[in-house]
Amino acid sequence: MKNKSNILVIGGTGKTGRKVASKLIGSGHRVRIGSRSATPSFDWDNSETWIEALQGMDKVYITFQPDLAVPGALEAIENLTKLAKISKVKKLVLLSGKGEREAELCEQVIIHSGIDYTIVRASWFNQNFSESFFLEPILEGFVALPQADAKVPYVDTDDIADVAVEALLHEKHNSKIYQLTGPRQLTFKQVIKEISSVIGRDITFTPIALPAYVNVMNQQGVPTEFVWLIEYLFSEVLGNPDNSEITNDIEKVLGRKPKDFSEYVKENAQLGVWTPKIDAN
């Protein structure tokens, strides 16, 4: 198989990783899924698994769980990058967060590693409303969130995956930092209204102060590190006006417009993602 690469996709079962892996496999590349359940396994919490997962790999797509901003992420990225160099990996593509200062420290490790790289900074995902922590409140019909007026150019994981694959396969993306956003800004209220309208079910949106939201998470027994991350994202990232900026990097890389939030909503409504399950008991 001429010009085919061995590519490790860390987080290969996650929101972007599973799509990156699928697209690469479809193009005939040899893909190793980096996850705890894979063989060999890759576990961010167990650095002893990293060297075997990296062995024989030409390129690596890196997603860090739960987020590059969390304490310990920088050290993990430093150690992984050292092992990648020892393993003679030729290219690293890092999924980062747009407007996250802590994530940018992790980016610097990759940039100064001496390995070819591309940094993919993404805005908040559309899929946060269908595959993540906003899904349950939508199903319950009552969404209460801080930063109600923050305008976010949500980006789709299909577009992120397409950009990541391009970056992995083509040298012209080496040493580039791409900032990925959707084509328009939306507040939480507008998001919920759009989903509600398409699925034909009333969903109430209520603004809530961040301390009250954090208090509710603590009362519900949400893990401390996740509470920290949510508080960080809502205060540092959503509170940063730079994050409302819309870029044209998706169009620059892919030669097409990014997916609009309305298209994402229609696709997921058809899949029944926001249809509450009826308990037969």
List of domains in the chain: 6-124+155-181+243-258 (3.40.50.720)
Which residues, in sequence order, are bridge partners of residue 10?
34
pTM of this prediction? Answer: 0.96
Whether the Cβ atoms of residue 147 and residue 210 lie closer than 8 Å to each other: yes
Query: Does the structure show a pLDDT above 70 at 6?
Result: yes
The residue type found at 240 is N
pLDDT given at position 1? 42
Q: In whole angstroms, what is the distance from residue 190 CA to residue 280 CA? A: 33
Note whether 251 and 181 are within 8 A (CB).
no
Tell me how far the alpha carbon of residue 4 is from its chain's centroid: 26
pLDDT value of position 147: 94
User: CA-based Rg of the chain, rounded to a whole angstrom?
Assistant: 19
pLDDT at position 244 over 70: yes
Lowest-confidence region among 7-11, 73-77, 204-208, 237-241: 237-241
**pLDDT > 90: percent of the chain:** 89
Residue 2's pLDDT is what? 57
Q: How far apart are CA 170 and CA 98, in angstroms?
A: 23
**Predicted pLDDT of residue 243:** 86
**DSSP state, residue 206:** E
